[in-house]
């Protein structure tokens, strides 16, 4: 156990943003890498939007990604409470220290932090007004990701609002001091705030934590960082779309960090082992769902069949494809056939639909392809004749019969495959054809072949 203490300090907003999730992930990884402590602290100083539901979404998202916390809500810890709304007494104590040392003062009913330095007034083109500024010494931030960063804070800032509530900068620093946070890992959008925070740490005479500002996640298309309204911005979305959490987590690791050895699909243990600040990039990373999907497919394919079935069953039930009390053996057989071919759990229902019902989508492209062969009707009749004769109706016997018939007709047996597949599934792709036919059964196969012949 090292003395590293990191924290993820989200404000419950009702959704779990992918950028927040990645910040949580990096903190968690660093804690696990160093054998330190990962703390979850809820920054609920804000108004009405902090509801129980908002907290639930957050905690569920954390659990879904497998980010367990060592101190925080539900698990407690020595530095509690872990909700800022319950820490008022601590903030009052710290405020008193600043008041006593003359580093805080009241103005307009709010309490301000006083910077040290020579005061003057200047016109602020952003605020479009005259403001008091301070000729202050620059704050030096030794950032673990970006190196030395200098920034000068030049205006006093509010630390307690008129309504008596402390503001983010104040509570954030106080809690980090109180909780013994050693490393502050957060998004680059906080880099500019860091000078305020350093001023506060110093005013309290507290040692500075190591700061590590990680790059932001940019939206997939268009300018700017990912915002909650963008597609793919919320962790809940991936859960609902049945992405595998290991895949999402793996992808998130790669957004702004890499192990520098060309590895991409990695176990979480190997990521924990190699995760460190030098591997974190400085430039922002653009989100790319295609890459996430390819990772997701890779994870899906290597799931044990048992796990695959366990995940697939409720999805198919919910989609109305498979009844709750359906034939277990048949379902197992279908899923075993489909796992190596399916791209995602999200699309699994449509992928397997034709196994469970005679009404299923017909792929227009596949149909066009079939019709392109002028003799397709004739071929279909030949296939029907073959299928009629197959007994027993097993993958091996069907294959052998087709091969024999094809040889007699002087063609390659696989020339019929796309036609057969389309006739029984309406698709151009899918599981291995022979086992597929065996699984559907003779009656169903013949009926569908005849069905297509009538068209």
Partner RNA sequence: CUCCCGUUCGUCUAGCCAGGCCUAGGACACUGGGUUUUCAUCCCAGCGACAGGGGUUCGAAUCCCCUACGGGAGGCCA
- Catalytic annotation, residues: 228
Q: How far is the CB of 48 from RNA (least distance, A)?
A: 11
Helix or strand (DSSP H, E) at 399: helix 395-409
Q: Which is nearer to RNA, 93 or 282 (CB)?
A: 282
Q: How far is the CB of 1 from RNA (least distance, A)?
A: 29
Q: How far is the CB of 317 from RNA (least distance, A)?
A: 25
Integer CA distances (angstroms), 338 to 114, 351, 397, in order: 66, 8, 21
The residues near 98 (Cβ < 8 Å, ≥ 6 apart) are 104, 113, 159, 203, 204
Instruction: List strand residue ranges (DSSP E) for 82-204, in order.
Output: 104-107, 110-113, 118-124, 129-135, 139-143, 147-151, 157-160, 183-187
Nearest to 246 by CA among 173, 169, 298, 281: 298
| Residue recorded with tokens 């992808």 | 251
Q: How far is the CB of 325 from RNA (least distance, A)?
A: 30
The residues near 287 (Cβ < 8 Å, ≥ 6 apart) are 18, 217, 218, 219, 220, 226, 232, 255
Q: How far is the CB of 4 from RNA (least distance, A)?
A: 22
Q: Which is nearer to RNA, 328 or 361 (CB)?
A: 361
Six-digit token pair at 179? Answer: 């909780």
| CA–CA distance, 399 with 390 (Å, rounded to integer) | 10
Q: How far is the CB of 25 from RNA (least distance, A)?
A: 13
Integer CA distances (angstroms), 407 to 93, 404, 410, in order: 91, 5, 5
Q: Which is nearer to RNA, 326 or 333 (CB)?
A: 333
The residues near 359 (Cβ < 8 Å, ≥ 6 apart) are none
Q: Which is nearer to RNA, 288 or 317 (CB)?
A: 288
* Angle 312-315-25 from CA coordinates, rounded to 5°: 80
- Residue 343: cis peptide before it, omega within 30 degrees of 0: no
Q: Which is nearer to RNA, 326 or 409 (CB)?
A: 409
Instruction: List strand residue ranges (DSSP E) for 41-103, in order.
Output: none
Q: Which is nearer to RNA, 205 or 223 (CB)?
A: 223
């Amino acid at each position: 156990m090292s003395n590293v203490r990191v924290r993820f300090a989200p404000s419950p907003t009702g959704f779990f943003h992918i950028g927040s999730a990645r910040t949580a992930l990096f903190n968690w990884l660093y804690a696990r890498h160093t054998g330190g402590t990962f703390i979850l602290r809820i920054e609920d100083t804000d108004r009405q939007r902090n509801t129980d539901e908002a907290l639930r979404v957050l905690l569920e998202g954390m659990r879904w990604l497998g980010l367990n916390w060592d101190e925080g809500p539900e698990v407690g810890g020595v530095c509690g409470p872990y909700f800022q709304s319950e820490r008022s007494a601590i903030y009052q104590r710290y405020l008193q220290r600043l008041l006593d040392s003359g580093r805080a003062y009241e103005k307009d009913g709010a309490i301000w932090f006083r910077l040290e330095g020579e005061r003057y007034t200047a016109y602020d083109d952003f605020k479009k007004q005259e403001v008091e500024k301070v000729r202050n010494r620059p704050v030096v931030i030794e950032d673990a990701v970006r190196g030395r960063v200098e920034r000068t804070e030049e205006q006093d800032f509010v630390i307690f609002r008129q309504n008596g509530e402390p503001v983010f900068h104040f509570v954030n620093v106080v809690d980090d001091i109180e909780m013994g946070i050693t490393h502050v890992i957060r998004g680059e959008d906080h880099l500019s705030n860091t000078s305020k925070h350093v001023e506060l740490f110093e005013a309290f005479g507290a040692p500075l934590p190591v700061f590590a500002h990680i790059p932001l996640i940019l939206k997939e298309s268009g300018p700017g960082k990912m915002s909650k309204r963008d597609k793919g911005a919320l962790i809940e979305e991936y859960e609902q779309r049945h992405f595998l959490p290991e895949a999402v987590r793996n992808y998130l690791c790669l957004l702004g960090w890499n192990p520098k050895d060309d590895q991409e699909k990695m176990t979480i243990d190997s990521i924990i082992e190699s995760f460190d600040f030098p591997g974190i990039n400085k430039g922002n990373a653009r989100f790319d769902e295609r890459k996430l999907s390819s990772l997701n497919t890779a994870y899906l394919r290597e799931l044990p069949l048992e796990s695959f079935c366990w995940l697939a069953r409720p999805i198919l039930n919910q989609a109305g494809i498979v009844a709750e009390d359906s034939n277990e053996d048949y379902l197992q057989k279908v899923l075993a056939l489909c796992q190596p071919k399916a791209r995602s759990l999200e699309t699994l229902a449509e992928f397997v639909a034709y196994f469970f019902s005679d009404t299923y989508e017909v792929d227009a492209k596949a149909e066009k392809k079939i019709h392109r062969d002028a003799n397709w009707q004739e071929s279909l009749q030949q296939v029907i004749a073959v299928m009629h004769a197959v007994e027993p109706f097993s993958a091996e016997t069907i294959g052998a019969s087709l091969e024999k018939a094809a040889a007699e007709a002087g063609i390659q047996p696989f020339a019929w495959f796309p036609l057969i597949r389309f006739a029984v599934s309406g698709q151009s792709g899918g599981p291995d054809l022979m086992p597929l036919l065996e699984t559907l059964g003779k009656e169903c196969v013949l009926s569908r072949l005849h069905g297509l012949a009538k068209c």
